[in-house]
């Protein structure tokens, strides 16, 4: 950090595999630099199966009259000419340059590792005020404790800032300019920088919801089957900087080209509310039948064209309880249906409050079951406390605070989701990563069947196999982990072969999913956003609390996946499927 500050930001993007301006290399660039023909490059690819290996082999015999300056991380992310980069690359650099530019290097360091490393680097620089070393064991221990405390404080600060302002460009600039002390003041919640959303915790029944929340008031809302959207509008003096951003995990995309009808709607809402200077709305975009107003499925919403569809004074509400945030939304942005046919509509979610009584909530739940919604979202209206039962019988119950504030990037008990599927199976789906497969037989000869699925273990920062759809031996093909699938099943079972969630519910057995079935691909999630072992264990505990039989086990062997074991040819085949 001290030696080369300009390299800090590009290094973060390269390590996270999320640099927004990486340029995929083309065969023509490699051909032009190496002088090899297209046929020769194709033969190399058929032999190696990796574009980086092709570039390395093609450039091995290239000689230049004048030496080129060394290849630096800042050059990789800023220069526009791939050919210049390839000419400058030496030896192994060509291999990894092409893999990086093609986003096939898959370093993919997760956000926690990057932010923690960045925070510790700041502590260890002059800006971070690291404690001085002292002689003697006691002094050394005290210095080590002080350093660990400084690390923990810096990591917590950077995490809080990131979830409200997840932009590495802004964070690095603020750290280099002001260090840790001035970070929060320089990077407040900002219109145009989408914050990470609050996440709901799964439940299996209304009884469980009342058990969790006690007598605290809540609002139950329809859980629509759409695409979560965070819509922002800058101040009135900046009319050309309209933003409508939709979440796709940590990779945020401007989706104005995909939803021009929503853009038009938000423009109207902005113009019809003269007291509003700017806003951030966490919303859900759903498809409706324009003639009846009935909800349509997520598939119908996602089938619209992918692009080119035709047709810093912020009042922060994060720390206000949901009752106040909802009242502001309802008063400032009333429902609106444009007169233009086919235009987007703005409405508030259907809801009922617990003050209406248990019967009213039960009736509302039945409406959700009979509708096209996924179920209910239950949100705490006011902050309070609940009595939490102890894990061990000898311990006493304790009062647990339950805030009704907006908590970015947290799975909170103040937001509970109750899906309709709980009546027939699991109360929630899991987001699992396909990591391997077997070649199908008979009528499935042209398909991968079964597919090996994994959860993401954030503590170990690796994928752990959890289930497959039918029995089999070691997978014939390993996939490069890059997709997340929504999977539902009958229930979570204790498994003698799975190591997923090992030690969380049993010291000797892991957990698996019985009768898993594919629902959809989660394009809005990265591999690191997949369900975790703790999430799986919580689903298992919920089943136990409901008195469901937990006997049974996954059939067949599960294997842990070491990414990169497969040959290039296997990886190519896996991707082609």
* Better pLDDT: 377 or 141: 377
- Maximum mean pLDDT: which of 10-24, 60-74, 391-405: 391-405
Q: How far apart are CA 437 and CA 163, in angstroms?
A: 35
Beta carbons of 352 and 361 less than 8 angstroms apart: yes
Name the residue among 218, 160, 197 with its Cα closest to residue 280.
197
Structural contact between residues 513 and 548, judged by C-beta atoms closer than 8 angstroms: no
pLDDT value for 400: 87
Please say whether the dihedral angle defined by the alpha carbons of residues 526, 532, 538 and 540, taken in this order, is positive or negative.
positive
Domains assigned to the chain: 18-101 (1.10.3260.10), 111-186 (no CATH), 201-219+351-423 (no CATH), 227-332 (3.30.470.30), 430-576 (2.40.50.140)
Q: What is the pLDDT of residue 245?
A: 40
The whole-number pLDDT of residue 532 equals: 92
pLDDT surpassing 50 at residue 243: no
pLDDT, tens digit (0-9, with 9 covering 90-100), for 159-206:
999 988 888 889 999 988 888 888 988 898 888 788 888 888 888 788
**C-beta separation of 189 from 274 below 8 A:** no
Enter the tokens of residue 554.
């996954």
Q: 415 falls in which pLDDT band (50, 70, 90)?
A: very high
Taking the model in full, what pTM does it have? 0.61
**Per mean pLDDT, which range of 48-57, 75-84, 428-437, 506-515 is the poorest?**
75-84
- The predicted structure's pLDDT at residue 524: 80
Confidence of residue 282 (pLDDT cuts 50, 70, 90): confident
Query: ω into residue 450 within 30 of 0, thus cis?
Result: yes
Alpha carbon 154 to its chain centroid, in Å, reads 23
Higher pLDDT, 438 or 356: 356
pLDDT of residue 126: 60
pLDDT of residue 11: 79
User: Burial letters for 362-400: b for 16+ Cβ neighbours within 10 Å, e otherwise?
Assistant: eebbeebeebbbbbbbbbbbebbebeeeeeeeeeeeeee
Residue 252, pLDDT score = 41
Top-confidence residue, 271 or 500: 500
Q: What's the CA gap between 83 and 208, in Å, rounded?
A: 61
| pLDDT winner (highest mean) among 72-81, 292-301, 313-322, 402-411 | 402-411
Buried b (16+ CB within 10 A) or exposed e, 506-526: eeebbbbbbebeeeeebebbb
User: Other CB atoms closer than 10 Å to residue 115's CB: what's the count?
Assistant: 22
More confident residue, 563 or 319: 319
Check residue 556 and give its pLDDT: 39
Confidence of residue 376 (pLDDT cuts 50, 70, 90): very high
pLDDT (mean) for 366-389: 88
Burial class (CB in 10 A: 0-12, 13-18, 19+), 55: buried
pLDDT of 572 higher than 50 = no
Q: Give the pLDDT band of residue 357 (cuts 50, 70, 90).
A: very high
Whether 442 shows a pLDDT value over 70: the answer reads no
pLDDT digits (tens, 9 = 90+) for 472-529: 446 678 888 888 998 887 778 888 888 899 999 988 889 998 778 888 888 888 888 8
What's the rounded mean pLDDT across residues 227-244?
Answer: 61
Question: What does the pLDDT look like over 35-53, one tens digit per residue?
Answer: 677 777 777 766 766 666 7
Query: CA–CA separation, 254 vs 517, rounded Å?
Result: 32
Give pLDDT, residue 569: 34
Distance between CA 71 and CA 59 in Å, rounded? 15
Helices marked H in 238-382: 260-271, 298-302, 322-332, 358-370
Per DSSP (E only), the strands in 375-426 are 375-380, 384-388, 398-402, 411-419
CB 484 within 8 A of CB 529: yes
Cβ atoms of residues 479 and 436 within 8 Å? yes
- pLDDT tens digits, one per residue of 530-571: 999 999 998 888 877 766 544 443 333 444 333 333 333 333
- Mean pLDDT computed over 82-94: 70
The predicted structure's pLDDT at residue 481:
87
Q: What is the largest CA-CA distance in the chain?
A: 84
Strand, helix or coil for residue 473: coil
Residue-level pLDDT at 166: 87
* Residue 458 clears pLDDT 90, i.e. is over it: no
Give strand pairing partners of 419.
375
Cβ partners under 8 Å of residue 575, min gap 6: 479, 480
Residue 208 has pLDDT above 80, yes or no: yes
CB 374 within 8 A of CB 223: yes
Give the active site residue among 78, 138, 173, 223.
223
Q: How far apart are CA 291 and CA 339, in angstroms?
A: 13
Q: How confident is the model at residue 392 (pLDDT cuts 50, 70, 90)?
A: low
Residue 223 a catalytic site member: yes
Which of the pair, 124 or 98, is modelled with greater confidence?
A: 124
Question: What is the chain's length?
Answer: 577
pLDDT of residue 445: 59
The tokens of 404 are what? 């009704």
What CA–CA distance (Å, rounded) separates 100 from 17?
8
Three-state SS at 2: coil
Q: How far apart are CA 404 and CA 324, in angstroms?
A: 10
């Amino acid at each position: 950090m001290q030696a080369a500050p300009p390299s800090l930001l590009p290094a973060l993007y390269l390590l996270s595999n999320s640099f927004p301006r990486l340029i995929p290399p083309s065969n023509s660039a490699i051909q032009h630099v190496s002088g090899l023909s297209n046929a020769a490059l194709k033969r190399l690819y058929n032999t190696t199966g990796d574009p980086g290996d092709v570039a390395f082999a093609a450039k091995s015999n290239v000689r230049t009259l004048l030496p080129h300056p060394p290849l630096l991380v800042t050059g990789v992310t800023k220069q526009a000419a791939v050919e210049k980069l390839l000419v400058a690359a030496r030896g192994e650099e060509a291999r990894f340059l092409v893999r990086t530019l093609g986003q096939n290097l898959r370093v993919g360091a997760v956000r926690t590792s990057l932010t923690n490393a960045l925070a510790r680097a700041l502590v260890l620089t002059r800006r971070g005020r690291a404690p001085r070393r002292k002689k003697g064991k006691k002094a050394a221990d005290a210095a080590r404790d002080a350093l660990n405390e400084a690390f923990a404080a810096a990591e917590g600060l950077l995490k809080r800032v990131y979830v409200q302002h997840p932009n590495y460009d802004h964070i690095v600039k603020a750290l280099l300019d002001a260090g840790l002390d001035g970070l929060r003041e320089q990077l407040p919640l900002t219109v145009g920088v989408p914050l990470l959303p609050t996440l709901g915790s799964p439940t299996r029944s209304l009884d469980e919801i009342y058990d969790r929340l006690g007598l605290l008031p809540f609002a139950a809302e329809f859980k629509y089957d759409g695409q979560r959207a965070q819509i922002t509008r800058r101040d009135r003096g900046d009319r050309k900087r309209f933003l409508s951003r939709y979440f796709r995990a940590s990779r945020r995309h401007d989706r104005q080209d995909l939803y021009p009808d929503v853009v038009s709607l938000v423009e109207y809402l902005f113009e019809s509310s003269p007291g509003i200077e700017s806003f951030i709305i966490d919303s859900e975009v759903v498809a409706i039948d324009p003639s009846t107003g009935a909800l349509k499925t997520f598939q119908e919403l996602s089938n619209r064209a992918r692009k080119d569809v035709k047709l810093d004074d912020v009042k922060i509400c994060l720390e206000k309880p949901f009752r106040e945030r909802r009242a502001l939304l309802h008063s400032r942005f009333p429902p609106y249906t444009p007169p233009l046919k086919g235009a987007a509509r703005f409405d508030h979610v259907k809801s009922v409050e617990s003050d209406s009584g248990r019967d009213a909530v039960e009736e509302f739940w039945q409406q959700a079951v009979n509708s096209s919604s996924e179920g209910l979202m239950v949100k705490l209206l006011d902050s309070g406390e609940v009595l939490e039962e102890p894990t061990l019988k000898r311990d006493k119950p304790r009062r647990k605070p339950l805030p009704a504030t907006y908590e970015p990037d947290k799975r909170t008990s103040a937001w509970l989701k109750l899906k309709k599927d709980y009546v027939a199976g699991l109360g929630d789906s899991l987001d699992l990563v396909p990591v391997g497969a077997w070649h199908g037989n008979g009528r499935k000869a042209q398909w991968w069947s079964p597919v090996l699925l994994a959860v993401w273990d954030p503590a170990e920062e690796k994928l752990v196999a959890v289930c497959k759809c039918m029995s089999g031996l070691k997978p014939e093909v390993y996939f490069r982990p890059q997709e997340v699938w929504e999977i539902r099943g009958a229930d979570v079972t204790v498994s003698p072969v799975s190591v997923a969630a090992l030690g969380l519910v049993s010291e000797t057995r892991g957990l698996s999913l019985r009768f898993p079935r594919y629902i959809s691909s989660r394009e809005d999630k990265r591999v690191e956003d997949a369900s975790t072992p703790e999430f799986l264990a919580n689903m298992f505990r919920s089943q136990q609390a409901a008195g469901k039989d937990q006997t049974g086990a996954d059939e067949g062997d599960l294997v842990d996946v070491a990414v990169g074991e497969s040959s290039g040819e296997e990886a190519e085949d896996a991707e082609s499927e």
